[in-house]
Amino acid sequence: MGSLVGCCAFTMPEARLIYGFGPYELNTSRCELRKFGMRIPLQQQPFHSLICLLEHPGEIVTREELRARVWPDRVHVEFEANLNRVMNKLRSALGDSAGRSRYIETIPGRGYRFIAPAEGAPHPGPSLTGKGGPHRLPVIPISGAISIDSPFYIEREADSRIRQAIAGAESVLLIKGPRQSGKTSLLARVIHHARFSGMAVISVDLQKLNAPHLSSMETFLQALTKWACDASGVSFEPRREWDAALGASMNFDRIIKSTLLRDRSRHLVWAIDEADRLFACPFGNEFFALLRSWQNERAVSPEDCCRRLTVAVACASDSLALLNESNQFPLSAGTSFVLENFSRKESAELNRRYDSPLAGTELAELHDLVGGHPFLTQAALFETAVRRRSWKDVAANASNTDGPFGEHLRHVAAILERNPTLQSAITGILNGKSAVPPSVFYRLRSIGLVDGNSPRKAHPRCQLYRHYLRKCFD
């Protein structure tokens, strides 16, 4: 390990690392602290003190530990007074205070503790030691997005492909998959990889928008513009900067290009989660057409500022299939990343990370039962590894509505109960009848209920679905 030039005796970690917390990101290799992508001036000792705290999130870092890491032995200072000044400068840079701490807590007489969630930071706590080394088992079942530092995230082909797309600064990245397939988890890794690569990042989750924001194209784009400008530290006043004569799309295009894309030295990745909320909006197609126009501008003008922009969009394919009988996706531009089931090898790797609760034929039986469904595989391994249920018990109760997969299965049944056409088609598939109409087959496949290369080869996605749906509809 080596020391940074002019950085006292502080020793940097070997690996290049970026920590993210709140609106901040700290890059250890560049010695940079940024807020919403904007660099925050910070002197060496506060910077290195922050690294010490981030290396031990939730733990007390004593004053003596800080002294040993940040102040060299040969330098004689009034340490206590100097440390207090350094921590005050650090808190000032983070907009924090000792009285109302959001990031750094003072432990009187002992030291300090970093109290906010941080990406890229190791997590302390009890662990099990499997073949892959020590790790913590989850306390509650994994549902929703899997955190960046979780050992229970399994990379699939889409992960490596999307990293290549980011490195190539592609225009539009479209992450698609049915409910509970890992879309938000993959998008989180897009954000992390972009930050690690030194790119600016704006992340928006359309779930946070209220109904008034989605009442028209204008209200939506004004909200999106304000959100993005706030995240970048840029002021935006709709009354002053929004020209009614231009229309919503042209206003949005003009403001984004003149503010967020004006920095020619840095690529911007704009991550948009839950974009399927726009499928039901009358202006949804207009917004996706705007994204297509940005990709087209790259081809028309090699020097266009859109070359410095990548838009990563995550959306649920089942939402579109339920709303639109044609199942025609409104965004045809860009590169698609469809999230597939776990392979047998990937299921085996996740089992290993749970300290191998399934052995021998049990792992093959799990894969056959859930077909590599990411969420169902996680749920089964949680039951066996954490709740200590036998695989025999889990498998015996798998298709019961009060069993380990009950909530997921009830959601599946509710989808079909609300859509007689789909319910009739799935009943036909269960009974081995002739092929379903192609449009219905592709809708069922987008929802994640069936697999197959063609309507004539349609079959339930997994044994669990076959058993449960027979109970419900056959």
Task: Please name every residue paired with 432 in a beta bridge, in sequence order, or none if there are none.
Answer: none
The token duo for 1 is 């390990």
Interatomic CA distance for residues 263 and 42, integer angstroms? 22
Task: Please name every residue paired with 112 in a beta bridge, in sequence order, or none if there are none.
Answer: 61, 106
pLDDT at position 248: 93
The three-class DSSP label of residue 119 is: strand
**Distance (Å) of CA 272 to CA 21, 42, 186:** 19, 31, 12
pLDDT at position 139: 66
Interatomic CA distance for residues 23 and 37, integer angstroms? 8
CATH of domain 157-338: 3.40.50.300
pLDDT at position 128: 38
pLDDT at position 138: 73
Please name which of 408, 398, 419 lies closest in space to residue 473, comparing C-alpha atoms: 419
CATH of domain 18-114: 1.10.10.10
The three-class DSSP label of residue 220 is: helix
**Long-range contacts formed by 264-267: CB under 8 A, 24+ apart:** 264/305, 264/308, 266/37, 266/198, 266/199, 266/200, 266/308, 267/169, 267/199, 267/200, 267/308, 267/309, 267/310
pLDDT at position 133: 40
pLDDT at position 435: 73
The token duo for 463 is 């044994």
The three-class DSSP label of residue 179 is: coil
Q: Which residues of the chain have pLDDT under 70?
A: 1-16, 36-37, 72-77, 120-136, 139, 320-330, 434, 474
In the chain, domain spans: 18-114, 157-338, 344-473
Burial of 170 (0-12, 13-18, 19+ CB in 10 A): middle
Report whether 391 contacts 362 (CB < 8 A): yes
Please report how many Cα atoms fall inside a 13 Å half-sphere around the Cα of residue 309, on the Cβ side.
Answer: 26
Q: Find the length of the chain.
A: 474
Q: Phi and psi of 237, rounded to 5°?
A: -120, 100
Interatomic CA distance for residues 296 and 292, integer angstroms? 6
pLDDT at position 371: 96
Task: Please name every residue paired with 24 in a beta bridge, in sequence order, or none if there are none.
Answer: 21, 35
Q: What is the pLDDT of residues 42-65, one digit of tens each?
A: 988 899 999 999 988 888 999 988
Report whether 406 contacts 379 (CB < 8 A): no
Q: How far is CA 404 from the centre of its chain?
A: 25
Q: What radius of gyration do the chain's Cα atoms show?
A: 26
DSSP state of 206: G
Look up residue 375 and give its amino acid.
Answer: F
Within 68-225, strands assigned E span 104-107, 111-114, 128-130, 133-135, 172-177, 200-205
